[in-house]
Amino acid sequence: MRVAAHCRRYITFCAGIFAVTLAGVAMGQAPANGVSKSQQMIVVVTKNWDDFHGTLRRYERPDLQSKWREVDQPFVVVVGGKGLGWGQGLEPNASQLRNGPIKQEGDGKAPAGIFPLTTSFGYSAKALENARLPYIELTPTVECVDDPHSSHYNQLFDSKGTAKDWTSSEQMRRSDELYRWGVVVGYNTSPTRSGAGSCIFLHIWDGPEQGTAGCTAMEPIRIETLLRWLDPTKRPVLVQLPATEYLKYQSVWSLPPNSSQ
């Protein structure tokens, strides 16, 4: 099994260059209780902790008091090549969970939990037509830092003119199509914990039988569908769990019934 590219998270602008602190992009921090304040939800469910195949479903509701309703048909995605691990998200704190692995930097796992979806990115100078999330053009100098010892850890930013204090990062403008379009997942932020994992995205896959280094990936047409659907005013979130954990937390987190269970 070959593992595709790494993944990361958030964006803020300052002094003419942007730095995405993969925790809460330019639109600001998501509320602590992500599901209760959201009107758009992406749910990814895998068979178990170790499986890198998942099913993605979309849900929305007209207001915070209404029930969730499913949008369109589900489709196949891939997650980390080593499956899922509890991550630093909106709720709950991964360290308080007793069952299942805990995500760490470089472990090949995608994060399990609830995470805000904050910003989009791509190779084009302009965002995808009809997409509404804040957009970052991936120029050759845009990097995402995965060195836990760097002051720029878990940041997606234009490194041109920046004093380098990292030994490891991902060059976001690639020779392949994986990051042609993508979405930043608000992972390991508020605060950022060194070594807990970094740079998590939704992006184009390298095929249905190749897990990622920690992101969630899919066919090009699928990421384009998500980009045109996601609305920052509806505070979209990603809920990503193995089937048994989804069932366990469905009532606690007020999640919709999911037939992937």
Domain count, the chain: 1
Interatomic CA distance for residues 213 and 110, integer angstroms: 7
pLDDT > 90 fraction of the chain, expressed in percent and rounded: 77
Residue with tokens 């699928």: 222
pLDDT digits (tens, 9 = 90+) for 183-221: 999 999 878 999 999 999 999 999 999 999 999 999 999
pLDDT tens digits, one per residue of 45-82: 999 999 999 999 999 999 999 999 999 999 999 999 99
Give a yes or no: residue 125 inside a domain: yes
- 192, part of any domain: yes
Q: What pLDDT is recorded for position 3?
A: 41
* Cα–Cα dist 106/45, whole Å: 22
> Does residue 93 or residue 90 have the better pLDDT?
90
The confidence score (pLDDT) of residue 13 equals: 30
> Residue 142 domain-assigned?
yes
15 burial type by CB count under 10 A (0-12 exposed, 13-18 middle, 19+ buried): exposed
pLDDT higher than threshold 60 for residue 41: yes
How many other CB atoms sit within 10 Å of the CB of residue 225?
Answer: 16
Q: What is the mean pLDDT of residues 229-258?
A: 94
Is residue 255 included in any domain, yes or no? no
153 lies in some domain? yes
DSSP states of 20-79 = E-SSSTTT-PPPSSTTTT-SEEEEEEESSTT--EEEEEEEE-SSTTSPPEEEEEEEEEE-
CB 31 within 8 A of CB 37: yes
Q: How does strand 181-185 pair with strand 201-204?
A: antiparallel
**Domain, as residue range, for 151:** 12-249
For the chain, give the mean pLDDT. Answer: 87
Say if 149 falls within a structural domain: yes
Does 221 map to a domain?
A: yes
Cis peptide before 236 (omega within 30 of 0): no
SS3 87: coil
- 1 located within any domain: no
**pLDDT tens-digit map of 218-228:** 999 999 999 99
CB contact at 8 A, 202 and 185? yes
pTM for the whole thing? 0.88
pLDDT of residue 252: 87
